[in-house]
Structure 1
Amino acid sequence: MRAGQLQLAVRHPDLTPRPVRFELRQAEGAETLARHWPDDFSIRETGDGYEGRLSLGEARTFSPLRDVTAFDAAGEPYERVDSYALRLLFGTTVGEINRCFIKTHWRTPDDESLTFACQQVRDFYRADAGQRNMVSVIFGYRALDFADTDLLEEAAEWLTAEIAAGNDRPHDNHKMDGVHQRISMGMALWMVRLSLGDNPGTVRALDETIAYLRGIAQPHGLHALNGCRMMMLRAYLHQVAGEQAAGLELARLAFDFFRQCAAVAEPDPATFGEMSQGHHAAWIGLKLIQHVNKKRPLYPARKVFDAAHRVKSPSGVARLNERYTELLAWIARPGAA
């Protein structure tokens, strides 16, 4: 998927003319497109033959699109390379959506194709609220990684709508239950708001999610992963704003919340390993308290933010860092937040 277009490549050992058929499988039925090798392709030589590339048009034209398969003149499907991206783009059942998005070894390996798959869930999938929540978070992170304003605005709108809709699914799967998803969506939303340069929206997203965290009767171990990050960051923003009492209270809450989560953590190495990030955020929370008690300057802003956000792409991090600097200047002004 490139710029919304379905881009494919096929290989042949020679340039002998032959038909190539593409089957675009949708939620119901399929559409077939016929093309001819080599005339309809952009050809380049490879070491052992030729590769032809072409576009099948705007992907949204075929939504909801499950996958694309190419067939040779004999009706046999072309062998797919491991990196083939136009697969598992949509599902109509809980199991199919799990394969598309939760099982990372099944998930499409291309971020643009994954972004399109997320948009299809937003537009067409209604079977499970927890899965919609989860996919809205995945979409938010893709928008953050691309640092694309249009995608970020879509993500902000979708995450806000999912939070408002709610999810009362019980704790039968820590990736799907309503509490875990509310925390995950809140985490994604403040970063999306910040990347958009929406300072009031960033603070509001943090405050609303922290208020939700305070009301959790029985935290799960994984709740520390994002919960402690948000508490620690908001504590620091209070300090920058000169609101020392609020900052100290939230910094201590990050530590106490981590202890609550750790007390009920499951003996699973993957889950427990993820909790280390919450531990680090809680540790910085204690450093924030220490700097106040010992009348030291504010803890380094970059260390706080590096421990708070979860964006990985260089372009996404660069944009977020720039917006964070603007946020600190804004919140330091009297009456800003």
Structure 2
Amino acid sequence: MSSIEFAQVTKSFNKKAVIQDLDLNIEDGKFTVLVGPSGCGKTTLLRMIAGIESQTSGSVLIGGKDVTRVAPGKRGVAMVFQNYAIYPTMSVRDNIEFGLKNNKIPKSERTQLVESVSATVGLYEFLDRKPSTLSGGQRQRVALARAMVKKPSVFLMDEPLSNLDAKLRAQMRLELIELHKKLGTTFVYVTHDQVEAMSMADTVVLMNQGKIQQVAPPEIMYHTPNNLFSAQFIGMPPMNVTDLHVDDVKFGFRPESAVLSSEPREFHYSVKGVIVTREMLGSETLYQVRSNGHTFMVKSAENVFSVDQEVYLGVDASKIYFFAADEQRIGGDQARYKEYLDVLRSEETCIKKAHGKLLVHT
């Protein structure tokens, strides 16, 4: 068992609580990603699991055991840092087996472990090289291999790919996913990059200002955000959000949920606007549309519209989200959701009448 539990954990720095009364369960064997803006507390949680930081109050449990007073080296965890923390004067082999030597592991066992792990991460042919002769991705693999030979029950990773270029980062994401499948061990991964979180995680833990905003698989996080923060942090570009002008409610829709057309079409929410920017993204095009003082982002598979062109933007009712004054999402099964859908349609009808552009809704 290598599940991790935070029970009523508070962490204070200089008497200021950065995390307060936090509860979190990280499942055994899952790839869990802690994501959120800088300073939200995600790295502090990771360091508390590792034992590098201690909580001010509450308990941290690994495999059901309270590890509050257990030394970092006795917790059965291995940490991979952002800067790799590998020794430049040692060969790849020496870097990987450094911890094994310190733990007095017999030479024959060390050799078998190092060669087995280096083959798993694609480093076998580089064992006698120095880190300075390796690429960034290869140095990252050295750090991973050094963690793997410890046979930890938990892998902790603190933004391990942030120093790599975009192409290599994408490649390493795939390699880490495959590595997790091979090992079947609990991975806890910290990043501020929501693309990494969504592409790698079994479970995403979204944080902001020391509080957990949502814990869910990526697809649930994306399609059913708990609140306005989740809705706008997850997704690229972020969800379009604007005021409904009723009850301090806001409504929103994903950029890919909007449809552009040169002629009016029937949608629950429909406005006329002008394209102000256009970005070609390969198979998709990102348009910025300005309408009635609002600016909306639209991600479309169609590359047929141009800057300064007048267009109609439409969104189906099923793609529209509402957020209450407390920023919590209003569920589609709640009575208020239908009321606000009716308000949105009525508001848009009034705007179209005022502009002589009435689209008939049925």
| TM-score normalized by the length of structure 1 | 0.31
Larger radius of gyration: 2
Choose between structure 1 and 2 for higher RCO, CA contacts under 8 A separated by at least 6 residues: 2
Q: Which has the higher strand share?
A: 2
| TM-score normalized by the length of structure 2 | 0.30
